[in-house]
Chains A and B, each alone.
Chain A
Amino acid sequence: MFYRLSGVYHTNYISDSRIYKVPADRNLALALLVLGVAAPFIAPSLYVNSYMLPWLIWTSAALGLNLVTGWAGQLHLGYAAVMAVGAYSAIHAARFGVPWEFALIIGGLSASVIGSLFAFAALRAKGLYLALTTLAMQFIMDWVLTHSPAISGGSHASLQAPTLKLLGQEITSDTGLYYVALAWCLLVTIFMLNLKRTGLGRALVAVREKDYAAAILGVHSFYYKIVAFAMSSFIGGVSGALLVATFFFLAAPEQFSVAVSIQALAMVIVGGLGSIIGSYFGVALILLVPGLVNGVVVTASEQLGMQINVETLAHIPNAVYGALIVIILLIEPLGLGKLYGNIRDYLMVWPFDQLRK
Chain B
Amino acid sequence: MKLLSRAALIHAIMFGMAMSIPATVMAKPFRIGVCYDLSKAYTFATPQVAQAAKDLAELVNRKGGIGGEQVEVIVRDHGNEPQRGVECYEQLSREGVFVFDTLSTPVSLAVLPRAMEDGRVLMQSLVGRGDAVDGTVFDWVYPIGPTYWGQAANDIAYIKQLHDGDLSNVKVGFVYFDYPFGQEPIEILKTLSKKEGFELLLYPVPLPGNDQSGVWSKVRRDKPDQIVVWMLGGAHVVASKEMKRNGIPMDKYISVNWLNEVDIANIGAKNAIGIKRGTNVVGGQDIPLYKEIMAELYDKGNGNGPIEKTQDVFYNTGLAMYSIMFEAARKAVELQGLPLTPDSYRAGLESLRDFDANGLMAPITVTAQDHGGGGATRIEMWDGAAWVPQTDWISEYSDQVWAVVKESSSKFGK
Contacts and interface: CB of A to CB of B under 8 A. Distances in A.
Interface of A: 44-47, 49-51, 54, 95, 146-147, 152-158, 160, 247-250, 252-255, 287, 290-292, 294-296, 298-299, 309-311, 313-315, 317-318, 340, 343
Contact of B39 (A250, A309, A315): A315
A295 B35 CA distance: 12
B110 interface: yes
Contact of A343 (B3, B113, B183): B3
A295 B20 CA distance: 11
A250 B411 CA distance: 13
Given A254-B80, A291-B87, A314-B77, 13 more contacts: A44-B18, A50-B90, A51-B87, A95-B414, A147-B178, A154-B408, A156-B130, A247-B83, A250-B113, A253-B180, A292-B10, A295-B91, A296-B13
Interface residues of B, number: 56
Contacts of B17: 295-296, 299
A313 B129 contact: no
Contacts of A296: 13, 17
A253 B39 CA distance: 20
B412 A160 contact: yes
B305 interface: yes
Contact of A156 (B20, B76, B408, B414): B408
A47 B17 CA distance: 11
A154 B305 CA distance: 40
B77 to A, nearest CB: 3
A259 to B, nearest CB: 9
A250 B128 CA distance: 13
A179 B411 CA distance: 30
Given A248-B110, A249-B113, A309-B305, A158 B129 contact: yes
Given A252-B106, A314-B38, A340-B3, A160 B82 contact: no
Contact of A254 (B39, B82, B411): B82
B411 A154 contact: yes
Interface of B: 2-3, 10, 13-14, 16-18, 20, 36, 38-39, 43, 47, 50-51, 54, 75-77, 79-84, 86-88, 90-91, 94, 105-106, 109-110, 112-114, 129-131, 178-180, 183-184, 186-187, 304-305, 408, 411-414
B76 A255 contact: no
Contacts of B10: 292
B183 A146 contact: yes
A198 B117 CA distance: 46
B156 to A, nearest CB: 17
Contacts of B129: 156, 158
A5 B91 CA distance: 44
Nearest to B130: A156
A311 B77 CA distance: 9
What is the predominant secondary structure among interface residues of chain A facing chain B? helix
6 contacts: A95-B414, A250-B109, A254-B106, A255-B82, A294-B84, A295-B17
A74 B84 CA distance: 30
Contacts of A247: 83, 86
Given A309-B305, A317-B77, A287 B83 contact: yes
A158 B109 contact: yes
B112 A250 contact: yes
User: Nearest 6 pairs between A and B by C-beta?
Assistant: A314-B38, A314-B77, A254-B106, A249-B113, A157-B180, A156-B129
Nearest to A284: B10
Contacts of B131: 156
Contacts of A158: 109, 129
A151 to B, nearest CB: 12
B157 to A, nearest CB: 21
B183 A155 contact: yes
B184 A255 contact: no
A250 B109 CA distance: 8
Contacts of B76: 294, 298
A63 to B, nearest CB: 18
Contacts of A157: 179-180
B400 to A, nearest CB: 15
A310 B75 contact: yes
B109 A146 contact: no
B413 A146 contact: no
A266 B3 CA distance: 22
B411 A311 contact: no
A320 B296 CA distance: 36
A176 to B, nearest CB: 14
Contacts of A249: 113-114
B13 A146 contact: no
A47 B11 CA distance: 11
Given A50-B90, A156-B129, A310 B82 contact: no
Contacts of A343: 2-3
Given A156-B408, A315-B39, A310 B180 contact: no
